[in-house]
Amino acid sequence: MSGLGQTVRTPWHLWVVGVLALLWNSFGCVDYFMTQTRMDEWFAQMGMTAAQVEYFKAMPMWTHAAWAIGVWGGALGAILLLLRRKLALPVFVASFLGWLAGAVYAFALSDGMQAMGSMWPMQIIIGVACLFFIWYARMMSRNRVLR
């Protein structure tokens, strides 16, 4: 730990976590963009069933907004982490809250688990990844790596 005013070296793992976070969240951004612009074509390419496609098409607008906050916030958080900015932490938190809103809809307000079939565990994996990025950004902020 260094004193006030001293520069803290960037640990090697920040680059690993930052790049992995950017790659991880970039797929979410691509998925969101393709769903919004080429829904039927994208769903067919992803091998989704008719029930899964109908589930997505019936999602209320607020879930799409939450999804956007989740994926674009995650990508922005990753970029901020790579730039060593403290703002990465609240942006990752916003991303998690976007995911959480979508998860509440999928697991409590709709038949998302049933509609998504074997794909629903991915929602849990996404939530765990969000929490990891929050924890990591918080740790880097506490260690004064982020400024």
Model pLDDT for residues 44-92, shown as the tens digit of each residue = 888 888 888 888 888 899 999 999 999 999 999 999 999 999 999 999 9
Cα 93 from Cα 77, distance rounded (Å): 9
Q: Yes or no: say if 95 and 73 are a contact pair by the CB < 8 Å rule.
A: yes
Cα 1 from Cα 13, distance rounded (Å): 16
Cα 108 from Cα 105, distance rounded (Å): 6
pTM: 0.87
Q: Yes or no: say if 29 and 72 are a contact pair by the CB < 8 Å rule.
A: yes
Q: How is residue 140 annotated by DSSP?
A: H
* Domain range list for the chain: 12-142
Instruction: For 27-51, give the DSSP string.
Output: HHHHHHHHHHHSHHHHHHHTT--HH
